[in-house]
Amino acid sequence: MLTAKQQQLLSYIKQHLDQGGVSPSFEEMKEALDLKSKSGIHRLISALEERGFIRRLANRARALEIVKLPEGMALAPARPAPAPTADIVPLRKPVPQMPARGTPIAANDVIEIPLHGRIAAGVPIEAMEGQTMLSVPAALLGAGDHYALEVSGDSMIEAGIFDGDFALIQRTETARDGQIVVALIDESEATLKYFHPEGRRIRLDPANRDYEPQIYDARQVRIQGRLAGLLRRYN
């Protein structure tokens, strides 16, 4: 069962593909659904992907493929989209005209995710909540909700994570042994480390031979996300 917004977006993507053979950009989808930010579109696409209605094609910009449609809305070859059936929520805005042949198509889409301050890659420091947004290439993120943290410290340098990098985090409260996670310690301090559960204890391992593992009672540690990607500035 899809929400109204999910049905709107799926209908819009289908019409766009039928008319031009290219999936719409995040900006076009945001405007068509009258949303305030691209992060809302990213969440809708992730939900449709998780439910098996669409698929993202790797290594291609603006590459969405429809896998299936709700009952009453059939897949069709490229042609003008039919009028919506009763179970499809009408779009608020019409499908925009596709660019003329030879006109460049927009570059890779980006979305905005919350930037929640700095996180330690050494001794834990407080992870500050903030309202700043970070623009991220959509291709770096998979399904689910994400946020970003600026890395402080050098304890993860052997994993390729350096001071000043932006860690892209998928929100989750669970993790597998050996994954790099954001771990909240005693509800006050957060750190980025390898996660190793050991019975009633949690071992958080650095990726720098100059640092020792951090060991806590399992009740002291709460997982706040898994590392999904990195952004780095060179200026």
**pLDDT exceeding 90 applies to what percent of the chain?**
25
Question: Can you give the chain as a three-state secondary structure string?
Answer: CCCHHHHHHHHHHHHHHHHHCCCCCHHHHHHHCCCCCHHHHHHHHHHHHHCCCEEECCCCCCCEEECCCCCCCCCCCCCCCCCCCCCCCCCCCCCCCCCCCCCCCCCCCEEEEEEEEEEECCCCECCCCCCCEEEEEHHHCCCCCEEEEEEECCCCHHHCCCCCCEEEEECCCCCCCCCEEEEEECCCEEEEEEEEEECCEEEEECCCCCCCCEEEEHHHEEEEEEEEEEECCCC
* pLDDT of residue 204 exceeding 90: yes
Q: Architecture of domain 111-231 in CATH? A: Ribbon (2.10)
Report the pLDDT value the prediction gives residue 220, as an integer from 0 to 100. 93
* pLDDT of residue 71 exceeding 80: no
Report the pLDDT value the prediction gives residue 158, as an integer from 0 to 100. 93
Average pLDDT over residues 123-148: 71
Q: Where are the domains of the chain?
A: 4-66, 111-231
State the catalytic residue, choosing from 14, 30, 38, 193.
Answer: 193
State the catalytic residue, choosing from 23, 36, 155, 188.
Answer: 155
Among 151-155, 186-190, 195-199, the range with the most confident prediction by mean pLDDT is 195-199
Report the pLDDT value the prediction gives residue 79, as an integer from 0 to 100. 38
Report the pLDDT value the prediction gives residue 58, as an integer from 0 to 100. 54
Choices 3.10.580.10, 3.10.200.10, 2.40.50.100, 1.10.10.10: CATH for 4-66: 1.10.10.10
Report the pLDDT value the prediction gives residue 26, as an integer from 0 to 100. 78
This prediction's pTM: 0.55
Is residue 155 part of the annotated active site? The answer reads yes
